[in-house]
Structure 1
């Protein structure tokens, strides 16, 4: 329900500001992600502010702004990873998400260690470029 509301409000705000959508696809996409992130944060703050609590019974906040940022960052990185070649994506996922060493990746993918290092280097370069094109990181 919250996700649907956030998407609906994000698209409504974009519809009210057509100039934003006339920009390049990547900066418009970054704008949409930023609006969605801010809506989630505002909703959580608003829900928290609507309840008054005594100091004896402070609620445990389950979602913080940093957690929301982490979710959106993961979403953006996942989207950028999808643009990479299968070889580059596999090595990056094994190394960073799987926590595997170069030697382990080499055995699992059945390629030389030098190839793993090369794919990791060029894959990270391509990932950085994909994120820059989306307006997520600076050039």
Structure 2
């Protein structure tokens, strides 16, 4: 029973020691680690590990050689060196492709998409097709398309609107037909 009490007193004393070390030297340790790593979160991890080592080896702190702060900063520096070496030894971590971000498609997909759009454009009236080609395939503004085609800007806008609506209907009809075949 006496051994348990002695051990418990030592644990409480060690915890108090670590708390006082953090209060007295924590800022210096964190600043030093942040300067070395350039990453505050990683520096906080290093400081925590240094304090754990101080807690596990309290006799090393009071061994009569140098200052406590010097010992702690040396531990921080060694932990930073270990961390940097470990990061160079491992291959770089690559994050997975987050959901919602489109993955680059094959060139063949773009060719097929272009063929589908061009075929759909052929199904439009000449007035609608010419306006959509000028605006979306050649990248012209409403004013530029109007000037090139010799029609008012309002006409370009309305033909663009009705042409896009007709394209949507064509694609909707094609999708419904494809689902009917697949289903």
State the TM-score, normalizing by the size of structure 2.
0.38
Q: Which structure is larger by alpha-carbon Rg, 1 or 2?
A: 2
User: Whose relative contact order is higher, 1 or 2, with alpha carbons under 8 Å and at least 6 apart?
Assistant: 1
State the TM-score, normalizing by the size of structure 1.
0.50
